[in-house]
Amino acid sequence: MSELALLSPPTAEGVRTLRLNRPDKANALSAALVDHLHASLDAIGPETLALVIRGEGRNFCAGFDFTGYEQLSEGDLLLRFVRINELLARLRQARFLTIAWVAGAAFGAGADIACSCAVRIGTPAARFRFPGFQFGVALGTRRLATITGAERARAILLHNEELDAAAALHCGLLTELVEAQGPEARVDALVESTRKLDAASLRTLFALTDADTADADLADLVRSVGRRGLHARVAAYRRA
């Protein structure tokens, strides 16, 4: 597996950890990193009961990496967003418990990755922001509204709010807030509490409590990215 995405072997309890490993770029989602995250999910077999996703360094994930976007066609940019959307869908449809360990910033598509996980544990340093609509891109919006409620999601997106750990816990973006030590003990407790459920039962439970909106999400994403002027919208956002 690439050094961009570090997938640990399963522990005796069936827990694996997937680390986003671009700490010098706040773990921003380059095309290569997204490809390797997909490859990591491909490599996970039935021996895995839980997957912990975390970022190396001081941040969880800074979102879409716009480095060099000016040289990409709008079609190439669309493909990059589609690959991220597919990643979010795969996490939501996973056959194992998905746990986001959010220490530091989770912005944009990085926040969407965290929100796609069934459990979202944050440290006091956790921060969330969802700036996609500032440049006209709809990514992860339904999931955000499911978690926080439609009115709260609308306010977060309209005003490009940055939520600290306490605010994120209050509106459901975080399911738990813990001290800054590692997640191992808490993850082991979560896995132990779900051990009586087999893989089929877990899949059914998640399916019945989280509507499958992957096709609608993809359609909305493509329409939003496909509007004319994407480069100009991104440039205006980055200047601001």
> Which CATH number is 28's domain given?
3.90.226.10
- Kindly state whether residue 40 falls inside one of the protein's structural domains: yes
Q: How many angstroms separate the CA atoms of 224 and 134, rounded?
A: 12
Residues 30 and 127: their CA atoms lie apart, in Å, by 21
In a domain, 200, yes or no: no
Domain that holds residue 140: 5-181
Residues 16, 44: Cα–Cα separation, whole Å: 9
Per-residue pLDDT of the chain (240 residues; tens, 9 = 90+): 468 999 999 998 889 999 999 999 999 999 999 999 999 999 999 889 899 999 999 999 999 999 999 999 999 999 999 999 999 999 999 988 999 999 999 999 999 999 999 999 999 999 999 999 999 999 999 999 999 999 999 999 999 999 999 999 999 999 999 987 777 778 888 888 887 887 788 778 888 888 889 999 999 999 999 999 999 999 999 998
Look at residue 86 and tell me if it is in a domain.
Answer: yes
This prediction has a pTM of 0.95
Say if residues 97 and 50 touch (Cβ distance below 8 Å): yes
169, 177 contact by CB (below 8 A): yes
41 occurs within a structural domain: yes
Whole-number Å distance between alpha carbons of 151 and 155: 6
Residue 128 lies in a domain: yes
Distance CA 40, CA 110 (A): 17
Question: Does residue 222 sit within a domain?
Answer: no
Residue 193 falls inside a structural domain: no
Within a domain: 164? yes
